[in-house]
Structure 1
Amino acid sequence: MLSFSRLALALTAVGAALAAPTKRAVAYYNPNNGGGSEVDIVSAGLGEPLNVIISGLSDSSIIGSQSNFLSFAQDIGFSTECLGIHIGSPQQANLGDGNGAVNQLVEYRENYNPGGTCLESLIGGNHLRGWIQNGPSADSGAWFLAVSQEENVIDNHDIVPNGYNIGRDALVSNANSWASGQSTYSLSVDYVSGLLAAGSTGINHGISQDGQVAVITVTRN
């Protein structure tokens, strides 16, 4: 028979295990396998490529909440919109996770120094929209991002030629620079094919893209 002290220790250990956060086991689920798409929804038959995934294997301090993700986005050169003002309707995405098509959770713009995101709103720059894959049938916790390089306000923030590839690669470059400048986190990037068809079919503005999705994993050292 367990002594009272041993029983108390055992119950404490069980309670700690139950309270500990569960680490997700997959980087992401392919939205196409769950009736979703790696292209978001702008209008009927057109959307923007979800060309960056922040892996569900990333540390919870990076992806565990919207505030955590905002901090990470700010570290890699993005921030909230100028004065909190947004013009235009939110885009939707179906990540094949059982939630169906849902509105974007965040929209961040390039954070110039100086000038901030207000300058991006004027002269254009990099830009992202984000969704979390957390539905009942595919809960990876990964962030799916539609990243693009935009024109200036006079050109209505249309996407620059090759702007989807440019925006994705600029984000990856910024993330690598951030990771190399600190010691708390390690970052890996894999360019994945097969999630997104290359070309311009179904892509907003008819801009071709290479079909590669950058999967970024940020882990704590």
Structure 2
Amino acid sequence: MTSTAALPSSSSMTTNPHESQEKLFYNELGKYIDSLSENFKKKCVIKKEIYDNITKVLTLEKGKSSVSLSSQFVYWACQNFVLSKIAGNDIVCCAKAKKPVCIFESFYNVIGECHNNISHGGRHKTVYEINSHYSWLPRFAVDIFVKQCLPCQLHKPVKHHVVSKPIISLGVMTRLQINLVDMRTRPDKVSENVVYNWILNCIDHYSKFC
């Protein structure tokens, strides 16, 4: 009597390439953020939890304080963010740029959308497109995304280095290398009638004899 093991279904064997690329993007992004200093690491990106806390701070009535949030965080949120009504919803925007804040969890979709809008035009054009619609999306996140973009890598032009043609001499005195040195600013005066203003340096290319 033989027993047969159940084979996995075809749906479980196949993986979504979009999900794998997104996972790889956030893994590389997390490694980069972990390499930053503690002061910059906390404020370089806005995650969903921080976004919600900023919203709570900006919706507080004047004179009231939040028990769950520190006074330092409240001051930072009030100085850097404002609430704007967009399509009837309260959206957190940057106080300087007046653009909606892009949260960390939406980086992949937002960068991908802007990158496709400019037809994979490169990092600088992608950053410009993002900055015209969003704020608080750091440039290093765009760099990581573009480096992992498959269409950009497939259509990236290959740089061919210029190969210099070697100079070949067939014998002595067949090719010379001549250099003329100007000494008119500091001439070599041997006598009143003999003054040297130039030096002619001539090297035989084959024998290297000067």
Q: TM-score, normalised by structure 2?
A: 0.25
Which one has a bigger Cα radius of gyration? 2
More helix by share: 2
Q: TM-score, normalised by structure 1?
A: 0.24
More strand by share: 1
